[in-house]
Structure formats: C-alpha cells, structure tokens
Structure 1
Amino acid sequence: MANVIIADDHPLILAGLEAVLSAAGHKIAAQTSSGEAALAVDGGDLFLVDMKMPGGTGLDVLRALRDRQDPRPLVLLTEAIDTASLREALALNINGVVMKASAPAQLLMCLEQVMSGQRWLDPSLMDQAMAARTPAEENILTQLSARDQSIVRLVVSGLRNRDIGERLGMTEGNVKVTLHRIYERLNVANRVELAMLARDAMDAIAAA
C-alpha cells in the first residue's frame, strides 16, 4: 500500500480522496492545497496531485520532482488535459493520469499499477496519448533492432510470449526480458500501449 501525499485546492475533493484511499488501506502522508506545499512534505512515497491549482500545478510538481531527481512517482488528477500538457507529462515520464470523472476503482487500480512500477493512463486518454507523440516516437520501428522489430510485430499480431519465442527461436523468459527493455526504450508502460504505438507506426510506414 502507498503512503500518499495529496494535493488539491478543493477541501471536499481532499476529504473524498482521503476516504477512498484510507478505505482501501492506503496511508495519507499529507494533505495540501498547493503544489509548493506538496513538494515541501518530507516522507510519503507517492504524489496524487490536481492538475490545476494555485501555488504550483500538477505539471509544476512533476517538473520539480524530475529536476531534483526525486524518484517518488506522481499521479495527476484532472478534469481534462490538453494535448500539449499530456505530451509534456509523457516526456517527463508521468506515472499516472486519472480523470476526476472516473470511478474510485479506477484510481485504486492506477495506484496499484504505479506502485508496482508501471505507468497507468486513464482509458479515455489513450487516443489522445497516441496523438501527443512526436514524429520521432511515431517512427519507433526505425529505432529498434531487426529482432526487436520482429517481436513488436508479433505482439501487434496478438501472439503470446511463448508463441513469439517459438517463432523466433527464443525462450519465453528471453522474450519477456526483451519486451521490458523495449517498453523502457519506447517509453510505454505495457503490451497494450506498445501495440497501439507500433500499429500507428506501421500504418504510417505503409502510407508513406
């Protein structure tokens, strides 16, 4: 379970978040009403921060954490996010983005994945996240070795790690290790994000 620093300038939202997280077994390290106050908190192992606040927005907190190489993950909580802001958040390796309209279960799922080292984006943001990627990111296949490209194409085809290994003469374990290396290189969190990104790149190549 996480020890969460919550930052939101609306007292009712702070109270609601505390109730949801506490009921799920998480601890509350601090409740603050600004990004600056959140950054000043000692302790806590995860930030849950409102996107728009006086005294430091969610992106301001994210920038500050990355600038000072603070390893603690950050989850943005927002009513909406424009493509430019989402692009910057992704470039700064945001750990999670949750829409305020989401069910509490979505928030808890996000925290679980983030605390396990994965990134979580609200499902409603997937198309926008793909649109936010830069041209260099869209041409991902050119960044990979021939073997890695083959693995990615087989992932897009829906094959499991075991089946990919049989096709390419690799063990299932080696396929898994290679995939995680590809995730890190391409800044994606999981198999679904990889497949979506690769499918767009393959379509772009075909249309060129």
Structure 2
Amino acid sequence: MTTVVLADDEVLLRKALGALLPLEGDITVLAEAEDGEAAVRAVAEHEPDVLVIDLEMPGVDGLAAVERIRADRPDQVILMLTRHARPGVLRKALRLGVQGFVSKAAEPSQIASVVAALHAGRRWVDPDVSALALVDDCPLTEREVDVLRATSDGYSVADIAVRLHLAQGTVRNYLSNAMQKTQTRTRHEAARYAREHDWL
C-alpha cells in the first residue's frame, strides 16, 4: 500500500483525485491540503510515502512548499501536477529533487501508476513536460530567475532579499542584469517579459 497526501487549491480536482486514486491502485489518501502552507503541515503530520502536489497555488506555491518540506524530510517522494510546465519551473523542481512530473490532464489511472512507480524508487516525467525542459534558450541565471519570479509575485526588493537570503544590493544587481538581458526599463517589465517567454 502507498500512502499519499494530496495538495491542490482546486477543490473539485483534489476531491476527485482523493476519491479515484484508491480505486485505481493500492493507495490510501491520508490527508488533503488546499495550499502549500497546508501541504507542509500535512506532510509533517502524516509522513506520507508520496506527496502529490499542484505546482501553481495561491500564497505558498508548489515549489516553495517543496523547498520547505525538503528541509525537514529530504527523502520525501514528490509528484508534481501542472497545467503549464514552464522550462525554468520544471528545471527548478527537478533540482529540488521532485521525482515525478505529470500533467493535470492525465487520467487518474495514470496518476495512480506514476505514484506507484515513484514509491518503488523510480522517476517519471510526462513526455510533453520533459520536451519543454529541453528548450533552454533562457539567458537568465538561476538567481536572476528567482528574483524575477519573486518580483512577479509582488514582493519588494527588501522582501526578496529576506526570502532569498540575499543582500538588497545583490538583489538589485540581479534585477539590473535581468533588465539588461530582457532590454526592459523596470524590474516589473523584466518579470513580465520573462514570464511571457516561459522562463519563470
């Protein structure tokens, strides 16, 4: 049997998966979480074999939740669900050690089989998603992507510095470099440009 925590802000999808996964495989859903914050708490409380988590959620998103979970449970097996897997996001998720990546459009039976594969120690990345990851025409460094992502989430330079454990001057340097590379005038324009080009 494989135990699972489900984290997704879309109630209908989360409830459907919660009901269907046990029917598709030897899976027990221990808890459901409506956002990244709740996912961190649920994993700490229930210690599931596999965390199935949505990439895009309000507040603490999937990537931020995974970073926090990894700090406490470095061996936690994680399957990430997504609708739009931008190359930069996928690469960051893989760097964080996410073992599986699957489209939210996948059949519950496929998601159940991927959960079983991950629990058995294998990795699985949806072919469409992995094809996107190979498209690497982004001129931005990993840190420039990080500060632009935080900018697009509405954080100030001071907030970004705290979140990324950087000096404010360093954050400004990264933003300046990103603005030069994207040929934009403000950090918000640079963030918008990067998002439109699927770099975030």
- TM-score range for the pair, normalised by the shorter chain length: 0.5 to 0.7
Q: Is the 8 A contact 1:86 1:132 kept in 2?
A: no
Which aligned segments of 4 or more residues in structure 1 are displaced greater than 4 angstroms?
none
* Match runs of 1:1-208 below 5 Å: 1-23=1-23, 24-41=25-42, 42-43=45-46, 44-132=48-136
SS at match of 1:40: helix
1:108 CA drift (Å): 1.6
Q: How much does 1:61 deviate?
A: 1.6
Deviations 1:84-114 (A, max 9, x none): 1011111112111110111222212211110
- CA deviations over 1:167-190 (Å, ceiling 9, x no partner): xxxxxxxxxxxxxxxxxxxxxxxx
TM-score by length of 1: 0.60
Unaligned runs of 5+ in 2: 139-200
> What is the CA distance between 1:69 and its match in structure 2?
4.2
Unaligned ranges ≥5, structure 1: 135-208
Looking at structure 1, the residues matched to 119 and 73 of structure 2 have their Cα atoms a distance apart, in angstroms, of: 18
Name the larger-Rg structure: 1
Identity of aligned residues (%): 31
TM-score of the pair, normalised by structure 2: 0.62
* Higher relative contact order structure (alpha carbons within 8 Å, sequence separation ≥ 6): 2
Could you say what secondary structure the match of 2:109 adopts? helix
Q: Write the letter of the residue equivalent to 1:102.
A: A
Q: 1:113, 1:119 within 8 Å by CA — same for their partners in 2?
A: yes
Whole-Å Cα distance in 2 between the matches of residues 116 and 132 of structure 1?
30
Deviates more, 1:41-50 or 1:27-36: 41-50
